[in-house]
Amino acid sequence: MNDEIIKIPTGYEVIQGYLRTLDSSPGVYRMLDSQARVLYVGKARSLKNRVSNYARPSGHSARIATMISHTASMMFLTTNTETEALLLEQNLIKQLKPKYNVLLRDDKSFPNILISGDHDFPRIEKHRGAKRKKGNYYGPFASAGAVNRTLNTLQRAFLLRNCSDSEYEARTRPCLQYQIKRCAAPCVGKVKKNDYEHLVKDAERFLTGKSTEMQASLAAQMQQASDGMEFERAAALRDRIKALTQVQTSQGINPRGVNEADVIALHTAGGQACVQVFFIRANQNWGNRDYYPRVSGDEGASEVMQAFVGQFYSDRDPPRMLLLSHGLDDKDLVTAALSGKIDRKVEIIVPQRGEKAELVSGAARNARESLGRKMSETATQGRLLRGLKEAFDLVEVPQRIEVYDNSHIQGAFAVGAMIVAGPEGFDKNQYRKFNIQGDDLTPGDDFGMMKEVLMRRFKRLLKEDPKRELGTWPGLLLIDGGAGQVSAVRAIMEELGVGDVPMVGVAKGVDRDHGKEEFYRTGKPVMALQRNDPILYFVQRMRDEAHRFAIGTHRAKRSKAIGVTPLDDVPGVGAARKRALLQHFGSAKAVGRAALGDLKAVDGISGNIAETIYGYFNEKG
């Protein structure tokens, strides 16, 4: 009997079939293709009314019409309110990354400044992630650079310590920070507790927008010290005022009438979009960041803006005010959702005049310029990818290039690394590191390590995307090595049944000189590119990036391993006791050799813990 190909129906007629099962409840719907992959996630005030729009054969944009034509099934989830539906929709979009939704692709967390609250002499530090530590948080800042610049000048202005508590406890004399006038050195009693508390309060006043009155107070103190002929104190106060002024000057934008807001501006061109976000806190500009959401090009500005705002604040708290360049489709709904998230009113404004409009205009200008640069870079990248196809006689222009490298020291701390490049340059979200696990590998066996990495990588691809439809398969593999490496990799790929993936080996060539690289391909003669060929520079950049990533991964693994000691396995010995033991004895080996009485003499080590440690090492030895 001949196998019969069964065609799964798709299109608006399939959607019509769901209408009789739906009512007017609010909720979220998902549209899926014949492979059960999610095409689109949407929310609705009334599921029946919303889905009926898709059941019409005409009147849709090109994007929606294409999506409908691929829809083979739908899924529905009702909610109590439309606000709940909105929140669920944005979470599902971020989780599932549907093809036809506007998608915020870069969603990293933002750093904050933390002034700790669990020490007599609080520490000022950069903090990223969950706010579990006790203390006061100030932010967000747009980038690590923005927070580092502010921290740097705040230390000069307020002389707060930035050392860890363990470093603080271990100090017997002032460190370099004190010598260069960036710390008051409370660790060795150079400042009284009451005076240090005043410094902390001044820093907190500055970070909450009370800088003007504080600077006036400092100026009065400086004049008083000068009149009293306390010239050293007056000079110190002058330096603090200068540092505060430098913070404000470097921020550029310091609005008087906006205490707390995110300024969000959108610019679209050529089927691409850029969203620029400025963070205004305490009447100060705490930096900006640009985003390039995935769009098809036929969405309206309000649709893109609403999708961005919903996804951007799905896992972070909004400020009291959002200043937008474009309105939202469901402003009242988004306002209610964001206000409910933080239990206070959030204003969403599209300003038309005044200082707020100027802030939005500045953000829009940045968005326009950033998108222009991005489009120029993308065009250049496209030319380079087409050049790769021609240079290496590839069948297609590679949309995903994977470059592999290994790093180790005589086989120790071995890691494999994979970097990815494509139409938009290096895609760092797709980078992967591999801890080499093979117990039977000979130390330094690069072939063996590469085999393990490629086996793990392509076995996973074969499992997750066997039909090569999700864009996760490489159009080109770049291997660091010559004919031997290429032959070995080809054997590995053919063993896996994926020998059709194009690959090129990159060897240093004559005298191992940068610029004289030779390229090896299976069944073809060795070749080289002209020394000034842009394609050669492109390949060099990718190979160097893979090497940089591999070295960094190796160093991180080595550093982590160096910090591990036998004390980590002793029951009841945590970080504090481990630190006390190492400070007392100098090394884990010395702890293992110590007598029971010596262990009991260590501060923080009770008799029971000392017996546990002693028994652990005696049993081991």
Which residue carries 């400044």 as its tokens?
113
Poorest-pLDDT segment among 143-157, 452-466, 472-486, 493-507: 143-157
What pLDDT score does 471 carry? 84
The burial of 479, by beta-carbon neighbours within 10 Å (0-12 exposed, 13-18 middle, 19 or more buried), is given as buried
103, pLDDT greater than 90: yes
What pLDDT score does 1 carry? 42
Q: Are 84 and 127 found together in one domain?
A: no
Q: Are 407 and 548 found together in one domain?
A: yes
339, pLDDT greater than 90: yes
**Where does a domain end: 560, 586, 603?**
560
Q: Is the peptide bond before 140 cis (omega within 30 degrees of 0)?
A: yes
Q: Are 527 and 575 found together in one domain?
A: no
Q: Whole-angstrom Cα distance, residue 375 to residue 272?
A: 8
Residues 515, 364: contact at Cβ < 8 Å? Answer: no
> What is the CATH classification number for the domain harbouring 40?
3.40.1440.10
What pLDDT score does 563 carry? 57
Q: Are 123 and 238 found together in one domain?
A: yes
The confidence band for 124, taking pLDDT boundaries of 50, 70 and 90, is very high
Q: At what angle do helices 82-96 and 301-312 cross, to 10 degrees?
A: 80
**Where does a domain end: 202, 225, 251?**
251
What pLDDT score does 240 carry? 72
What is the full DSSP assignment across 290-350? EE--B--S-S-HHHHHHHHHHHHTSSS---SEEEESS--TTHHHHHHHHHHHHTS--EEE-
Q: Whole-angstrom Cα distance, residue 285 to residue 142?
A: 10
> What is the CATH classification number for the domain harbouring 602?
1.10.150.20
What pLDDT score does 558 carry? 66
Mean pLDDT of the chain: 86
Element holding 416 (H helix, E strand): strand 412-422
Q: Whole-angstrom Cα distance, residue 155 to residue 243?
A: 9
Q: Please state the rounded mean pLDDT for residues 463-472.
A: 85
Q: Are 227 and 288 found together in one domain?
A: no
For the chain, the domain total comes to 5
Does residue 391 lie within any of the structural domains?
no
Element holding 179 (H helix, E strand): helix 176-179
Q: Regarding predicted confidence, which is higher, 37 or 582?
A: 37
Q: Please state the rounded mean pLDDT for residues 426-444.
A: 78
Does residue 384 lie within any of the structural domains?
no
Q: Regarding predicted confidence, which is higher, 324 or 450?
A: 324
Q: Are 282 and 245 found together in one domain?
A: no
Q: Are 548 and 581 found together in one domain?
A: no
**Structural domain harbouring 608:** 566-620
CB atoms within 10 A of CB 411: 15
Does residue 524 lie within any of the structural domains?
yes
Angstrom CA distances, 133 to 63, 168, 285, 342, 521, stand at 46, 18, 25, 20, 54
Q: Are 545 and 470 found together in one domain?
A: yes
Does residue 199 lie within any of the structural domains?
yes
**Where does a domain end: 322, 357, 373?**
373
> What is the CATH classification number for the domain harbouring 536?
3.30.420.340
Q: Are 544 and 570 found together in one domain?
A: no
Q: Are 198 and 303 found together in one domain?
A: no
What pLDDT score does 621 carry? 41
In the sheet that holds 347-349, the strands lie side by side as 284-291, 272-281, 260-269, 321-324, 347-349
- Read off the DSSP letter of residue 494: H
Poorest-pLDDT segment among 31-45, 105-119, 251-265, 307-321: 251-265
Q: Please state the rounded mean pLDDT for residues 223-252.
A: 72
pTM of the full structure: 0.74
The confidence band for 511, taking pLDDT boundaries of 50, 70 and 90, is low
Does residue 387 lie within any of the structural domains?
no
| Helices (H) then strands (E): counts for the chain | 20, 18
Does residue 473 lie within any of the structural domains?
yes
Q: What is the pLDDT of residues 48-89, one digit of tens each?
A: 999 999 999 988 988 999 999 999 999 999 999 999 999 999
What pLDDT score does 4 carry? 53
Q: Whole-angstrom Cα distance, residue 257 to residue 37?
A: 48
What pLDDT score does 348 carry? 97
The confidence band for 6, taking pLDDT boundaries of 50, 70 and 90, is low
Beta strands per DSSP E along 472-533: 476-480, 503-507, 518-520
Residue 385, SS3 per DSSP? helix
562, pLDDT greater than 70: no
Q: Whole-angstrom Cα distance, residue 356 to residue 257?
A: 8
Cα 68 from chain centre: 34
Q: Are 149 and 204 found together in one domain?
A: yes
Poorest-pLDDT segment among 143-157, 193-207, 361-375: 143-157
Q: What is the dihedral of CA 188, 193, 194, 197, to 10 degrees?
A: 100
Does residue 281 lie within any of the structural domains?
yes
Does residue 171 lie within any of the structural domains?
yes
User: Of how many residues is the chain composed?
Assistant: 621
Residues 528, 519: contact at Cβ < 8 Å? Answer: yes
Q: Regarding predicted confidence, which is higher, 10 or 442?
A: 10
Q: Please state the rounded mean pLDDT for residues 297-317.
A: 92
Poorest-pLDDT segment among 340-354, 431-445, 520-534: 431-445
Q: Are 548 and 437 found together in one domain?
A: yes
3, pLDDT greater than 80: no
35, pLDDT greater than 70: yes
